[in-house]
Structure 1
């Protein structure tokens, strides 16, 4: 994963708009950024820290694999015109094999991390919906739009109808968490090039690997 926020797969909460029918009452509309609301709660911050702690060992391993590939690519680049052909071919095969292993391990890790994140988000999302429901009823809202959803066509909204902060405060009041702190996941290694073994046609200059 590239550096991104905890809620980086969009949480599926159903319809983007939450409507509450109230007969013979004026329409009262509110907007909320549900993704920001979830990550802004103490439970959301605690969950982010826990996921990051689980990610750290595997991320460190992947970074080590990536560094090894980088070093081998530099070795090939510097010695492609001087090393024996058998040695060059062997090094190219080694780079190809390690690159395939790295990309496979990265894909597996990414899938595992995404599944864990989605599981947590679904749990927190269910709690968040209950808070939004109560808030809307208590404050007489007939419609609340989730502006974090690209399917919600909100072109303009006054700041006065933004309820994200209120929802975060209400959520934390109903679900206090001890020792929660903010966490931003660290950057994960990017997939390695699938063609690290192709040497340049001319004498190469040492440079940054792909």
Structure 2
């Protein structure tokens, strides 16, 4: 559902509920109808001051977030090198097969093809397992920092008089234009870094059976 429609619907429901409560709370007095001026005042809208933030980007832009990513990448660097080496080996075997003389027997060719297929399957399995493990560790690292940045973002919004803070990290955002000084992403990052001095991260030792091929993190996860 359109985010703005949700907000409008929620606001409408709140106004209707407030009106019904006001009517219910009023005691039934058997007297002449009161003039319109004496009726309960309708709820008044308050001036809105909205701030936008690319929350996921903010998390990774903080000093702590950058260190968390670097730590995960360092952890999986050995596995990345291993996968790259295996990939080069498969490519070399394929080139050797293509350059093989026409005098090669069908049996020898078949044997080489099977060997290449086996290594390629191992490569794909290793790469997929590594990427899955890497993504899981990266998501976990992101989550730990995101919880703290979320608190900082809300505090920043409250301290600066904003009535609403909207996360526009999603590609599905319906916001078509952003006015100047409304995007507080950098301001929140600066405020967080100022109150949370980054400490050099100590990379964990790479696991013997799992490691991932570091890949660029896509902007999809939310808090």
Q: Please state which band the TM-score falls in when normalised by the shorter chain.
A: 0.7 to 0.9
1:15-30 maps to which residues of 2 (within 5 A)? 25-30=46-51
Normalising by structure 2, report the TM-score. Answer: 0.68
Which deviates further from its counterpart, 76-85 or 167-176? 76-85
- Using the TM superposition, give the Cα deviation of residue 187 of structure 1 relative to its aligned residue in structure 2, in angstroms: 6.3
Let me know the Cα RMSD of the aligned residues.
2.4
User: Residue deviations 1:190-210, cap 9 Å, x none?
Assistant: xxxxxxxxxxxxxxxxxxxxx
CA distance in 1, matches of 2:55, 2:101: 54
Q: Which residue of 1 aligns with 2:189?
A: 168
1:98-137 maps to which residues of 2 (within 5 A)? 98-137=119-158
CA distance in 2, matches of 1:151, 1:28: 22
Q: Which has the larger radius of gyration?
A: 2
Q: Which residue of 2 aligns with 1:44?
A: 65
- Using the TM superposition, give the Cα deviation of residue 24 of structure 1 relative to its aligned residue in structure 2, in angstroms: 5.6
Higher relative CO (Cα under 8 Å, sequence separation at least 6) belongs to: 1
Q: Which residue of 2 aligns with 1:33?
A: 54
Matched, 1:147 2:168: yes
Structure with a larger share of its residues in helix:
2
Matched, 1:53 2:39: no
Aligned pair in 2 of structure 1 residues 134, 169: CA closer, same or farther (>3 Å)?
same
The secondary structure found in structure 2 opposite 1:27 is coil
CA distance in 2, matches of 1:80, 1:91: 13
- Using the TM superposition, give the Cα deviation of residue 179 of structure 1 relative to its aligned residue in structure 2, in angstroms: 4.2
Normalising by structure 1, report the TM-score. Answer: 0.72
CA distance in 1, matches of 2:47, 2:213: 47
Runs of 4+ in 1 over 4 A off after TM superposition: 185-188
Q: Which residue of 1 aligns with 2:113?
A: 92
Q: Which residue of 2 aligns with 1:77?
A: 98
